[in-house]
Amino acid sequence: MIEITDLHKSFGVTPVLKGISLKIKQGEVVCLIGASGSGEVKLLDQRVEQRSRHINQLRTQVGMVFQRFNLFTHRTVLENVMEGPVHVKGVPRAEAQRKANELLVRVDLGHRLHEYPHQLSGGQQRVAIARSLAMKPKAILFDELTSALNPELVGEMLGVMRTLAREGMTMLVVTHEMGFAREVADRVCFLYAGLIIEQGNAKDVLGSPREARTREFLRHVLKHRAEGHHAADGAAGAVA
């Protein structure tokens, strides 16, 4: 479904990807983990290139759920989900509205159709997923989907993604939530210094990694999370 071959990326003189190669099968869920930080990408055997005459057509086949959601703040939840099908694919408004309604019910937001993004509490991610699904993508890319969510909302997102996985949706997920990756991923890839240095079954990579760099990263993540929990408990105690 997705094939990445020798992908390089730099910001100015700073290289961040130094030759990434990765294949993702149809229906597979792959999580990318690692510290924040010219090649070829293929989707459905077509090269993804900025200057390609096929680029806009390819974009309609891949959904993206951004870390900051990028919802239209002046549009209601329902209108956000309708926008792409109506204005990009030319779907009649009545049909787009019906489908948007169905998708929002599916992500448990059927009761918030006419509210605006700022009125939601933790529901923006589910609107973004519904908006992506409205375009009927072949695959969906997720960027830090669970960032800044409380545990209850992380659980809700995990439920939505499990459903998508069961339905055969191909997903590539960037995440710092190791528990989330363990639960949802078929495969985990660890990126370090611009390269994939370890990949494999989620249970194996996260439970018993082969590479020292992977073990060091996971220790750091777990320590940071434990310190965060202690700080939160201390703050709660101070308030009490």
Q: What is the 3-state secondary structure (H, E, C) of 53-113?
A: CCHHHHHCCEEEECCCCCCCCCCCHHHHHHHHHHHCCCCCHHHHHHHHHHHHHHCCCHHHC
Find the mean pLDDT for residues 114-143: 87
11 found inside a domain: yes
The pLDDT of residue 91 is above 90? yes
Average pLDDT, integer, range 127-151? 83
Residue 211 has pLDDT above 50, yes or no: yes
Average pLDDT score, the chain = 82
pTM of this prediction? Answer: 0.77
Q: Domain of residue 55: give its range.
A: 1-61+143-148+169-240
Note whether 170 and 192 are within 8 A (CB): no
| Least confident residue range of 65-74, 81-90, 98-107, 230-239 | 230-239
* CATH code: domain of residue 47: 3.40.50.300
Side chain identity at residue 99, one-letter code:
K
What is the predicted pLDDT for the residue at 39? Answer: 43
Is 238 within the bounds of a domain?
Answer: yes
DSSP assigned state of 163: H
Number of domains in the chain: 1
Tell me: the pLDDT tens digits for 25-62? Answer: 988 999 988 876 544 555 655 555 555 556 666 677 78
* Residue 32, domain member (yes or no): yes
> pLDDT over 90 for what percent of the chain?
32
Confidence grade of residue 239 (pLDDT, cut at 50, 70, 90): very low
